[in-house]
Structures are given as C-alpha cells and as structure tokens.
C-alpha cells in the first residue's frame, strides 16, 4: 500500500477573507444597482437619473 501525500496548503486568515468578502459585496451592489436601473428603464419605461 503506497502512502499518498497531498500538498499542504495554509488556510486564509479571517482578516483576508473579510477583505475579500467586502470587495465582492461592493461589486454585487454595483451590478445589482445597474441591473435594476436597466430593468426599470427598459421594461417599464421609467427614467432614472443616475
């Protein structure tokens, strides 16, 4: 029976995970805002000043 060695990787720190999450959340907010503006102006014909 051969010994299987898996590469050992370190886990990310909580601080780095929180920073990454904050960046992703900001991107999500921008995309959702743009999508909402596009849907309102395209589908229902509302004019949004932004």
Assign 8 a pLDDT band (cuts: 50, 70, 90): confident
- Distance, CA of 12 to CA of 38 (rounded, Å): 37
Question: What's the pLDDT tens digit per position in 20-46?
Answer: 999 999 999 999 998 888 877 776 666
Task: Give the residue extent of every domain in the chain.
Answer: 13-50
- Distance, CA of 38 to CA of 4 (rounded, Å): 53
Question: pTM for the full model?
Answer: 0.58
């Amino acid at each position: 029976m051969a010994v299987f060695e898996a590469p050992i990787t370190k886990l990310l720190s909580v601080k780095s995970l929180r920073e990454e999450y904050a960046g992703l959340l900001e991107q999500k907010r921008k995309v959702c805002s743009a999508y909402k503006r596009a849907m309102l102006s395209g589908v229902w014909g509302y004019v949004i000043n932004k």
